[in-house]
Every structure is written in structure tokens, then in C-alpha cells.
């Protein structure tokens, strides 16, 4: 089993088929699209932030960019764009950075997104839209979600946990197996459609136990090493400062 990961999005890399389409909702500069493009037929990325229109790095030929937001309701909505294309750009004023640029964008629904792939399987749906994730999944029709083999979602820390758990229960009821890779929040959640991609008990154990916790421990260990090195560096700097002769002496 090959597992892919880009920032807060973990997915089953070897379950993406060469004939699959992938939807990257909340594309930002296109890093996730760049990672998954070699494994699928096409990637369609949705990003309303105009900052990236002329600053996005070159992407593979099978990646299409749509400059629209994806939301629970379609329409012309207010968008709060974080400075320098920041990932905290959002449709929600309550979650926006104080110094965000404000302008209107066209928003479409998940049904509109799937209209570009009117039938058949969708290999992977990635959702990272800074506060709109819960409402988007709550409003999505069952028949659309059931066409998706994998859904990777970054639920924001400001989301209500009860609302997130309601979404998770719904997805389980539709036949998705759910694994939360993030330890302290719901920042990296993967839904796997068991009707399209059946996982064995061993594979589930690897994902839910070994991969999640070993990766987490590795990250914690790496942070500890970095902090120790930083502390040692600061201590050396203090020692050098105390021993150094005064400026102009000698």
C-alpha cells in the first residue's frame, strides 16, 4: 500500500487509477495538484484567490484551473483573501485575517463541480476551503459522494466538533471508512468509499494505527530534536556573549 501526503492531506496513492479524475477544491498555488497529477487522467483545481493567477508555478498539462470558489450555495460571495496568497483565505468573515483583501467571487456548488464529470468514478476529492468544509459536505447529495473513491478533508480548528462528527457519521452511513490522521484535531481526515475501494482489515490497521501513530511520533521526535538544537544554539550564544570582550577593548 502506497500512501501519499501533502501538508494536511493524506491519501491512498496506489488507489488512484490512471483513468481517474481528481478534484482539488481549495487549490491555492497548486501543490496538491502537482503531487497527484502523475497518477491520474486529469486534475481540476478550484481556487478563487486572484493572487495566484500570475504567480502559480508551472503545473502539468493534465491540470485545469478554475478561478471559482466551491461552497454549499452558489452565487456571488464575499471573499477574504489573506496577504501573499495565504492559506487562511476564506469566504467567512469571522475566520478571516484582519488585513485580508476583500472582493467578490463566483461560487459554485459540488453538484456544479461534478457536472464536469457527469458519470462514473471520481478517484479523489480534496477539500481545503477554510471554514466551508462542513457545510459543503452536509449539503452534498448522496449520489455525488458515492461516486468518489477517496475524500481528503482538512477541517479547520475553529469548526464545531459536533458538526464535524455529524458529517463523519453521515459518511460512515454511506459506506465510507474514516481515519483521522491528525492527533489533536480533525485537520487531516480521509474518507475511503468501501464500495469502490475495499480495504482489508490489515490495511485499515496499518492506516489507523501504524501509519498514523508512527508518523506522529516521528514528527514529535523531529520537533524535539529541532528544539534541543535550538536550545543548545541559544545557550552557546549566551555563553559566547558572556565571554566576548567589550566592544572597543584591547
pLDDT in tens, the chain (250 residues): 888 988 889 999 999 999 999 999 999 999 999 999 999 999 999 999 999 998 899 999 999 999 999 999 999 999 999 988 888 889 888 888 899 999 999 999 999 999 999 889 999 999 999 888 999 999 999 999 999 999 999 998 777 889 999 999 999 999 999 999 887 888 899 999 999 999 999 999 888 886 667 665 545 444 444 345 545 554 554 555 445 455 444 4
**CA 164-183-137 angle, 5° bins:** 20
- The architecture of the domain spanning 3-199 is 3-Layer(aba) Sandwich (3.40)
Closest CA to 128 of 81, 76, 88: 88
SS percent in the chain: helix, strand, coil, step 5: 40, 25, 40
Amino acid at each position: 500500500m502506497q500512501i501519499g501526503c501533502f501538508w494536511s492531506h493524506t491519501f491512498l496513492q496506489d488507489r488512484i487509477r490512471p483513468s481517474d479524475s481528481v478534484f482539488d477544491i481549495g487549490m491555492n498555488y497548486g501543490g496538491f495538484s502537482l503531487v497527484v497529477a502523475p497518477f491520474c487522467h486529469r486534475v481540476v483545481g478550484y481556487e478563487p484567490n486572484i493572487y495566484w493567477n500570475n504567480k502559480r508555478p508551472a503545473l502539468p498539462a493534465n491540470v485545469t484551473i478554475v478561478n471559482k470558489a466551491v461552497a454549499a450555495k452558489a452565487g456571488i460571495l464575499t471573499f477574504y483573501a489573506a496577504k501573499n496568497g495565504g492559506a487562511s483565505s476564506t469566504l467567512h468573515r469571522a475566520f478571516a485575517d484582519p488585513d485580508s483583501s476583500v472582493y467578490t467571487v463566483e461560487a459554485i456548488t459540488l453538484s456544479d463541480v461534478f457536472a464536469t464529470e457527469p458519470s462514473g468514478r471520481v478517484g479523489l476529492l480534496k477539500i481545503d476551503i477554510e471554514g466551508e468544509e462542513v457545510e459543503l459536505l452536509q449539503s452534498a447529495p448522496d449520489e455525488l459522494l458515492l461516486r468518489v473513491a477517496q475524500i481528503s478533508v482538512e477541517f479547520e480548528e475553529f469548526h464545531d466538533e459536533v458538526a464535524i462528527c455529524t458529517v463523519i457519521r453521515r459518511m460512515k452511513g454511506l459506506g465510507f471508512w474514516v481515519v483521522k490522521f491528525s492527533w489533536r484535531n480533525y485537520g487531516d481526515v480521509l474518507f475511503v468509499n468501501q464500495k469502490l475501494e475495499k480495504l482489508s482489515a490489515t490495511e485499515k490497521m496499518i492506516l489507523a494505527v501504524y501509519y498514523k501513530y508512527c508518523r506522529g511520533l516521528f514528527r514529535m521526535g523531529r520537533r524535539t530534536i529541532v528544539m534541543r538544537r535550538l536550545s543548545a544554539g541559544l545557550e552557546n550564544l549566551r555563553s559566547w556573549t558572556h565571554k566576548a570582550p567589550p566592544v572597543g577593548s584591547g
